[in-house]
């Protein structure tokens, strides 16, 4: 199984901050990586697919980079509605696996 190591597990941030989350795969997954936003009681929302592609309708302050084993997710100028938990997920191989999540909190 491919292990996804996501960091940090939590982050205290302020509105307007730039937020960076990293995800490391235990083996090469090319660009088969998604980034999701998950708010309590809501459906997870796909933000980035294929490591760098922005899902339709997602604000451009969200972005993704990387390939192979090292990936980065960035929120430029954090907005109050961005407070959520974020997950990376690989879909290169079965079983599909997720990072442990990054919970954003407001300072």
Partner 1 sequence: EVQLVESGGGVVQPGRSLRLSCTTSGFTFGDFVMSWFRQAPGKGLEWVGFIRNKAKGETTDYAAPVKGRFTISRDDSKSIAYLEMNNLKTEDTAVYYCTRGYSSIWGQGILVAVSS
Positions that interact with partner 1 (CB under 8 A): 34, 36, 38, 42-46, 49, 55, 87, 89, 91, 94-101
| Phi-psi label, residue 60: left if phi above 0, alpha if psi -120 to 50, beta otherwise | alpha
CB of 103 to partner 1, least distance (A): 10
CB of 50 to partner 1, least distance (A): 11
**Environment class of residue 42 by beta-carbon count within 10 Å: exposed (0-12), middle (13-18) or buried (19+)?**
exposed
Q: Which is nearer to partner 1, 17 or 55 (CB)?
A: 55
Q: Which is nearer to partner 1, 38 or 61 (CB)?
A: 38
Q: Which is nearer to partner 1, 76 or 96 (CB)?
A: 96
> For the chain, first and last CA: distance in Å?
36
């Amino acid at each position: 199984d491919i292990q996804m190591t996501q960091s940090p597990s939590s982050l205290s941030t302020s509105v307007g901050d730039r937020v960076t989350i990293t995800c490391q795969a235990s083996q090469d997954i090319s660009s088969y990586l998604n980034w999701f936003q998950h708010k309590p009681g809501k459906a997870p929302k796909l933000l980035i697919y294929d490591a760098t592609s922005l899902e339709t309708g997602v604000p451009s302050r969200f972005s993704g980079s990387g390939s192979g084993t090292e990936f980065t997710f960035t929120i430029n100028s954090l907005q109050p509605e961005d407070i959520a938990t974020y997950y990376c997920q690989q879909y290169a191989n079965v079983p599909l696996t997720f990072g442990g999540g990054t919970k954003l909190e407001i300072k």
